[in-house]
Structures are given as C-alpha cells and as structure tokens.
Amino acid sequence: MAITFVDFSKKYGQNEVFSHLNLEINEGEITCLLGESGTGKTTLLQAISSLTDYEGKIEGVPCRISYIFQTPRLVPNLTVEGNLKLVLPKEEWKSIPSFLEAIGLSEKANAYPATLSGGQAQRVSFARAFLVKSDLILMDEPFSSLDTALKIKLISLFCSLWKEERRTVLFVTHDLEEAAMLAERVVVLRGGKVFADFTRKTSLPRPYGEESDFKRTLLSCILGEDEGI
C-alpha cells in the first residue's frame, strides 16, 4: 500500500515548514527526498513514525517500521549480536549469524559498539533495520558522516539487502550523488512543496560519479535552474 500525505501541514512555532502538502510514496520503491537543509525532509520521516505532531493526514502507514539514523544509535553496553537480538523475538535469533556474514562482521559478533569503526557500526544499524520484519524503512542521511569509499561500499550493501525483499524505503539526503546512486524516484522539496518529481528505473546501485540526464536534471533543480514539475 502506498503512503499518502493528504493536506499535510507542519509548523515549528511561527515557522511554517509545510502547508497542505500532498505526496504519495509508492510501495516497494526506494524514494529519495532531496533538498537543502531546512526544507522539511526529516520532518516527513518523523511524522510518518509519529515522532512529531502535524495537521492533515498520512494514510497507509504500516505498523512495522525500521528507522536508520545518521548515527548508528547502538546500545553501548550490548555486543553487536546483543544489539541485533534486542529487536528480534528469541525464535528468530538464528537468523543473526547469516546477516553478520552478509555485512562482513561475523568476527565482530561479540564486540561492543565502542570498539567498532564508524562504517562497521553503521553496517550493524543496516542489519538491525533489515532483520526486523518491517514493511517500511526510513533512512535519515545514514551516509553523511562517512568518507566516499565507505559510502559507496555501504550503498552497495544496502542495495543487495534491499533486493532480497524490496521493501518500501523513504530516504532523506541533501547529497546529489547519494540520490543518483540509490534512488528509483527522487522528490525534490523546496519552499514546503514538491518542486520536482523524477523516476528512473535502472539497476541499483548506479555507479558513483555516473554522468546521466537524470543526474543533470536533479542538479539543475538543486541549483534553481529548472522550473520543476
């Protein structure tokens, strides 16, 4: 089922971020919200997950949601394996070793978060999101603190995990390259409205630095050179 924002409005004090926004997020796709800081991208994720109040309606929100933040947010006094067990019923713990192998962290099962690199910790957060039998994955700039090489590796890992089940993903970034590599659909926000909406169905992830009409159009929108939709 699609997730639909109907006359969605949100204010922070006197600052009106959205006024009667209407937007539909398609089921089973990776949709990217792209735009400058302050355009309300994270607000939409928070509204979906009931972390902030709003006016209007959001229809079709599933009960089971996974949330990947900018930082891994692992429980510091639990091991890697313990952090994954925390989100699963005991009868599903048997699936953890195969996931650790898939993300290349089998040898870190008994390690604590403080001993992990930033990339390793974020891999654990990806595994945690996919282990939960969620219907929707929300991602709030999960690659923003990573260097380019690690970012490319983790985007590739994310795509390989996603292809197994093709869950609905709503992904926030202000990074054009991340959007171009990972998204099937890109919604550009500006001034509290949908400024542009593009879809490109190709195999994911796309190559880092790839030149394409899709990417050039996104860049024009970001720079304000395109009139949008």
Q: Does residue 145 fall inside a structural domain?
A: yes
Q: Tell me the CATH number at 88.
A: 3.40.50.300
Q: Which residue's entry shows tokens 């974020």?
A: 122
Q: Does residue 229 fall inside a structural domain?
A: no
Q: Does residue 11 fall inside a structural domain?
A: yes
Domain span holding position 120 = 3-223
Cα separation, 109 vs 69, in Å, equals: 21
134-155 mean pLDDT: 89
Q: Number of folded domains in the chain?
A: 1
Per-residue model confidence as pLDDT tens digits over 192-228: 999 999 999 899 999 998 888 888 888 888 877 665 5
pLDDT given at position 227: 58
pLDDT band at 150 (very low <50, low <70, confident <90, very high): confident
CA-nearest of 51, 22, 31 to 168 is 31
CA-nearest of 164, 137, 171 to 31 is 171
Per-residue model confidence as pLDDT tens digits over 38-50: 889 999 999 999 9
DSSP 75: -
Q: Are 129 and 66 in contact (CB under 8 A)?
A: yes
Cα separation, 178 vs 172, in Å, equals: 10
Q: Does residue 191 fall inside a structural domain?
A: yes
Of 191 and 43, the structure prediction assigns the larger pLDDT to: 43
Residue 167 gets the label, from left (phi > 0), alpha (psi -120 to 50) or beta, of beta
